[in-house]
Amino acid sequence: MAKLGPSIDELISALRCLPGVGPKSAQRMTFHLLERNRDGGQRLVQALSHALDNVKHCKRCRILSETELCSRCDDHRRQQDVLCIVEMPSDVLAIEQATQYQGQYFVLSGHLSPLDGIGPDALGIPKLIDWLDKNIIEEVILATNPTVEGEATAHFIGELARARNIKVSRLAHGIPLGGELEFIDSSTLSHAFSGRESL
């Protein structure tokens, strides 16, 4: 790449920290901001630095939040005795949009993966146990992904909750609504078959 000057090169390489942005896209963004949209650039700078200064993790559920407790944890109308455990913050939003769930959340930010060195501590398990021990929880809903690692994580947390006599449930695996059996991949179909419900 032809050198255009240290500030421009630095901006191009800084933009590459975004997911999906390679050298070409970073260069295009840089030229766009500098040539055509300097106001937009200013706004970006302010929004970014404001967000970096003010957004932390909720003390309770570990989701991103501007306050000590996020709006969901701070809402006393929500059920306090049901706890849903998810892998990523985006899973919280997905469940909120799709369901009528009115309980609490806990975000692990990942799943157990020994080969990546991710163990219980990295997932905030000690904090979760503290929560389970200090509050009255009737049910723990395990909403980790249906991958092998997600299942292992669910099992791990499930055991901890069961040892405390808390009801543990796991999201069902099944056929997507509106799907056709013929076109469903075999492992999903076999899970759905073995997990059939009596009517």
Q: Could you say whether residue 155 binds other proteins (CB under 8 A)?
A: yes
| Residue 16 region by backbone torsions, left for phi larger than 0, else alpha for psi between -120 and 50, else beta | alpha
Which one of 61, 73, 107, 125 is in contact with other proteins (CB under 8 A)? Answer: 125
Structure tokens at 24: 């070409």
By CB under 8 A, what part of segment 28-87 binds other proteins?
Answer: none
**DSSP states of 146-194 as a string?**
SSHHHHHHHHHHHHHHHTTT-EEEEPPP-PPTT--GGGS-HHHHHHHHH
Which one of 28, 36, 164, 167 is in contact with other proteins (CB under 8 A)? Answer: 164
Which one of 98, 99, 183, 199 is in contact with other proteins (CB under 8 A)? Answer: 183
Which one of 41, 110, 120, 174 is in contact with other proteins (CB under 8 A)? Answer: 120
Question: Of the candidates 185, 199, 191, which has an alpha carbon nearest to the alpha carbon of residue 170?
Answer: 191
Q: Could you say whether residue 136 binds other proteins (CB under 8 A)?
A: no
Binding stretches for other proteins (CB under 8 A): 19-20, 112-120, 125-126, 129, 133, 147-149, 151-152, 155-156, 159-160, 163-164, 183-188, 190
